[in-house]
Structure 1
């Protein structure tokens, strides 16, 4: 995964910028902070996925399973700590309402992407109504 910005990244940037009504000054301070947060969150999520995948292995001993759970709990705590840390940092750039709008915008963007992906494999609906 390189640092190139994808079409999806560009769409997310436009979506969030619009939803938050960022000023130019806010945008200049917000995006580096947000991108840092997203990179760290993505890495923790990747590690958690690998850990969950490994937990399904029937070859693990009880001690290894216990260790896996301990690691999972630690990762979830790291994720929570990361969110709390960036919540504080974001409030130095955005209003509290904008921070709330950011979290909602992230959820809405994900829903929209999933809806479009799910709809991409289906034929277009026939037109309804008469002309």
Structure 2
């Protein structure tokens, strides 16, 4: 079983790595790229938190529900952040900041709720490993995208145009 999961993980990760290059070349549609990235994420998390088949069957629907809610809150939070405050009154800025505090509190509440729900399926150690594995996966994807040909060497490079 462990060999299967490791093989699945490696296959999905290798399939997802050229996503940035394929995008630059126009080779894959956005939805296909997202699907491949999602498959790589599933394989990565499955291996890192050592899910059993029974756990995986219960975990993934719960995790997908959690990430959809978390993604929605993040999207709403981003929409509240103005590009500039120049045209806003002090009251508008205050209201925007207060709304962002409410959304951030909702994120914390969501995480606490799902922490409890995840523990019904996983051990507390696996839940902790899940949070770490999510960050590691994101870092790995960002690192690979940043290292693709044609990308500036650092975030500041290419901004002087």
> Could you state the TM-score of these two structures normalised by the residue count of structure 2?
0.70
State the alpha-carbon separation in 2 of the partners of residues 60 and 121 from structure 1. 40
Q: TM-score, normalising length from structure 1?
A: 0.86
Match of 1:89 among 117, 125, 134: 117
Post-superposition offset of 1:21: 1.1
Q: Which runs of 4+ in 1 moved over 3 A?
A: none
Alignment of 1:42-81 (within 5 A): 42-52=71-81, 54=82, 56-81=84-109
Tell me how far apart the structure 2 counterparts of residues 106 and 122 of structure 1 sit (CA, whole Å).
27
The structure showing larger relative contact order (alpha-carbon pairs under 8 Å, at least 6 residues apart) is 1
CA distance in 1, matches of 2:96, 2:49: 39
1:22 paired with 2:51, answer yes
CA deviation profile, 1:100-129 (whole Å, cap 9, x unmatched) = 110010010001001100111269xxxxxx
CA distance in structure 1 between the partners assigned to 2:132 and 2:100 by the alignment: 26
* Alignment of 1:106 onto 2:134: yes
Q: Supply the distance in 1 between the matched residues of 2:86 and 2:60 (Cα, whole angstroms).
A: 43
In structure 1, the gaps of 5 or more residues are: 124-131
Measured in 2, the distance between the counterparts of 1:68 and 1:49 equals 11
Match of 1:32 in 2: 61
Q: How many residues align?
A: 121
1:59 CA drift (Å): 1.4
Q: State whether residues 30 and 90 of structure 1, in contact with CA within 8 Å, keep that contact through their aligned partners in structure 2.
A: yes
The corresponding residue for 2:40 is: 11
Q: CA RMSD in A?
A: 2.0
Shift of residue 20, structure 1, vs aligned partner: 1.1
